[in-house]
């Protein structure tokens, strides 16, 4: 909510020897973050950094292929992401919006393309102003259309296997769910970055409103700090207002919901006032801590650890990270499930051997083919009636069937024999061990 101020009288401009340029200029830093996050956004689905393959019901995280049956790890990973975003809102306000959010990155990029197309069209000296305007619009829409197809492709790749999606794109598939999703996403992306842009942040995006609720008195803000009356340094040049893409005047309040904490107004004010020999009046600040006070504070307060809440947030984050790393390192890339099938206790085979039924499930949850070797301990001459041992599993393949565990008759007066079935997917890995019983008749028939 903006707070209206009364029109102030024209200030007297006092000129001093110019100051050197500001040490930290935020816009180029932000653009470097944009490039890094754009590359991460594009690379994530292709490198399986993070991707949800809906048709195959697989979740890819940090290069690991998680099956839907491993929901606990998927849930943990999603919770970690949500916690990081919430913690960032509490500590750093809307820094995520202006430095990392794809909507902001592509909105600013589409504005740059629009300006570039306008400048290029101005070079058509012989064309009429109307023709130049048309050429600029045409070029802008053409670039945005190509970019929208690319962005929609990347976005849809988060949910559909990228090679499969590329095949659908090259065949102009508008029939299957994946093809239709890609086409609709392209249209939405095009309309978003030609018409909506940053309006999305203040109207549709729920994250901005949630951030408002999460902030407290220590959250990072962009704060205008000036004296009053005669001690006021603001020269009312309004450059801070003109550069603001969100269309606000930061001098009215640091708590305006439209402010995404981009820092463009900080750069603008520093640029103007330093030429007049004074430092800028707009700064990043923890809450409304004056800049001079913040400079005297110990390092941990300057790094944002300003109360116990922030320390707890850090500890919870470490707990989540350690928990997730452990869950990922302990997960078995090849799932082995061995259970007895007691629909019949035992069978006497024609050759006199005894057979028990075993339910076997082997699933290769890795991206490469593997072999699983199975053997029995504690029962002389026992063997599993498998078509081949080791069992070869292609990436993502599941082998599931009921097989006979066969062994010669044992003349020891016992009908229950304790055995172990072992399955080893990789010679370097520990074998999975399943302890169970083998049931035989007491006497040979």
Binding residue for ligand SF4, selected from 77, 104, 160, 248, defined by CB under 6 A:
248
Considering only residues 34 to 53 of the shown chain, the ones binding ligand SF4 according to CB under 6 A are none
Residue with structure tokens 């991707």?
51
Residue 93 is a binding residue for ligand SF4 (CB under 6 A): no
User: Smallest gap, in angstroms, from Cβ of residue 307 to ligand SF4?
Assistant: 24
Stretch that binds ligand SF4, among 101-109, 128-136, 163-171, 269-277 (CB under 6 A): 269-277
Residue with structure tokens 């020897």?
17
Binding residue for ligand SF4, selected from 265, 372, 425, 436, defined by CB under 6 A:
265
Burial class (CB in 10 A: 0-12, 13-18, 19+), 371: middle
Stretch that binds ligand SF4, among 162-170, 262-270, 349-357, 400-408 (CB under 6 A): 262-270
Residue 97 is a binding residue for ligand SF4 (CB under 6 A): no
Length of the chain: 445
CB neighbourhood size of 101 (10 A): 21
Residue 259 is a binding residue for ligand SF4 (CB under 6 A): yes
Applying CB under 6 A, the site for ligand SF4 has a residue count of 27
Which one, of 248, 276, 229, lies nearest residue 9 by Cα?
Answer: 229
The DSSP H or E segment spanning 66 is strand 64-67
User: Smallest gap, in angstroms, from Cβ of residue 432 to ligand SF4?
Assistant: 56
Using the minimum distance from each CB to ligand SF4, give the nearer residue, 239 or 331.
239
Using the minimum distance from each CB to ligand SF4, give the nearer residue, 13 or 81.
13
| Tokens of residue 139, six digits | 């070029």
Binding residue for ligand SF4, selected from 91, 246, 360, 376, defined by CB under 6 A:
246
Binding residue for ligand SF4, selected from 73, 89, 268, 358, defined by CB under 6 A:
268
User: Smallest gap, in angstroms, from Cβ of residue 11 to ligand SF4?
Assistant: 9
Binding residue for ligand SF4, selected from 160, 240, 363, 407, defined by CB under 6 A:
240
Residue 235 is a binding residue for ligand SF4 (CB under 6 A): yes
Query: Are 410 and 440 in contact, with CB atoms under 8 Å apart?
Result: yes
Contacts by residues 142-145 (CB-CB < 8 Å, ≥ 24 positions apart): 143/113, 143/117, 144/110, 144/113, 144/190, 144/193, 144/194, 145/190
Residue 114 is a binding residue for ligand SF4 (CB under 6 A): no
Binding mask 282-311 toward ligand SF4 (x if CB under 6 A, else -) reads x-----------------------------
Residue 244 is a binding residue for ligand SF4 (CB under 6 A): yes
Stretch that binds ligand SF4, among 152-160, 243-251, 311-319, 389-397 (CB under 6 A): 243-251
Residue 354 is a binding residue for ligand SF4 (CB under 6 A): no
Stretch that binds ligand SF4, among 41-49, 64-72, 213-221, 257-265 (CB under 6 A): 257-265
Query: Are 415 and 442 in contact, with CB atoms under 8 Å apart?
Result: yes
Phi, psi of 309 (to 5 degrees): -55, -40
Residue 104 is a binding residue for ligand SF4 (CB under 6 A): no
Burial class (CB in 10 A: 0-12, 13-18, 19+), 25: middle
390 cis-preceded (ω within 30 degrees of 0)? yes
Q: CA torsion angle for 262, 265, 267, 273 (degrees, to 10)?
A: -160
Residue 100 is a binding residue for ligand SF4 (CB under 6 A): no
CA-to-CA distance for 97 and 95, rounded, in angstroms? 5
CA-to-CA distance for 278 and 271, rounded, in angstroms? 10
- What would you report as the CA-atom Rg of the chain, rounded to the nearest whole angstrom? 33
User: Smallest gap, in angstroms, from Cβ of residue 29 to ligand SF4?
Assistant: 13
Residues facing residue 405 across a β-bridge: 356, 384
Using the minimum distance from each CB to ligand SF4, give the nearer residue, 198 or 440.
198
Binding residue for ligand SF4, selected from 77, 100, 260, 421, defined by CB under 6 A:
260
Which one, of 394, 393, 403, 355, lies nearest residue 373 by Cα?
Answer: 393
Binding residue for ligand SF4, selected from 121, 250, 376, 379, defined by CB under 6 A:
250
Residue 234 is a binding residue for ligand SF4 (CB under 6 A): yes
Binding residue for ligand SF4, selected from 264, 404, 432, 434, defined by CB under 6 A:
264
CA-to-CA distance for 298 and 286, rounded, in angstroms? 13
Residues in touch with ligand SF4 (CB under 6 A): 222, 234-240, 243-244, 246, 248, 250-251, 259-265, 268-269, 272-273, 281-282
């Amino acid at each position: 909510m903006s707070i209206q101020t009364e029109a102030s009288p024209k200030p007297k401009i006092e000129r001093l020897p110019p100051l050197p340029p500001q040490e930290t200029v935020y816009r180029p830093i932000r653009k470097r973050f944009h490039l890094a996050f754009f590359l991460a956004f594009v690379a994530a689905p292709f490198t399986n950094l993070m991707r949800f393959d809906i048709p195959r019901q697989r979740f890819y995280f940090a290069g690991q292929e998680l099956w839907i049956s491993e929901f606990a790890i998927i849930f943990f990973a999603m919770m970690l992401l949500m916690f990081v975003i919430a913690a960032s809102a509490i500590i750093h306000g809307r820094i995520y919006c202006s430095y990392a959010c794809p909507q902001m990155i592509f909105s600013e990029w589409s504005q740059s393309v629009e300006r570039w197309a306008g400048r290029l069209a101005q070079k058509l000296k012989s064309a009429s102003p109307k023709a130049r305007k048309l050429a600029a619009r045409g070029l802008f829409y053409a670039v945005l259309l190509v970019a929208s197809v690319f962005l929609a492709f990347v976005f849809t790749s988060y949910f559909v296997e990228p090679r499969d999606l590329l095949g659908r794109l090259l065949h102009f598939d508008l029939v299957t769910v994946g093809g239709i999703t890609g086409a609709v996403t392209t249209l939405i992306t095009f309309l978003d970055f030609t018409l909506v842009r940053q309006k999305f942040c203040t109207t549709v995006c729920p994250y901005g409103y949630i951030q408002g609720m999460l902030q407290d008195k220590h959250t990072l803000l962009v704060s205008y700090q000036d004296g009053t009356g005669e001690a006021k340094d603001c020269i009312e040049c309004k450059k801070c207002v003109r550069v603001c893409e969100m269309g606000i005047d930061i001098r009215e309040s640091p708590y305006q919901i439209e402010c995404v904490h981009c820092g463009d107004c900080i750069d603008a004010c520093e640029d103007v006032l330093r030429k007049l020999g004074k430092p800028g009046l707009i700064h990043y600040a923890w809450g409304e801590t004056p800049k001079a006070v913040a400079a005297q504070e110990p390092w941990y307060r300057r790094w944002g650890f300003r109360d116990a809440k922030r320390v707890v947030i850090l500890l919870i984050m470490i707990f989540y990270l350690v928990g997730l790393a452990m869950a990922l390192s302990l997960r078995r890339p090849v799932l082995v499930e061995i259970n007895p099938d007691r629909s019949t206790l035992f069978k006497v085979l024609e050759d006199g051997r005894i057979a028990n039924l075993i339910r076997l499930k082997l699933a290769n949850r890795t991206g490469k083919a593997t072999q699983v070797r199975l053997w029995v301990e504690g029962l002389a001459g026992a063997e599993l009636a498998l078509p081949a041992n080791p069992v070869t599993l292609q990436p993502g393949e599941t082998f599931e069937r009921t097989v006979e565990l066969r062994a010669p008759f044992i003349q020891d007066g016992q009908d229950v024999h304790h055995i172990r079935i072992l399955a080893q997917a990789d010679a370097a890995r520990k074998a999975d061990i399943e302890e169970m019983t083998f049931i035989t008749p007491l006497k040979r028939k």
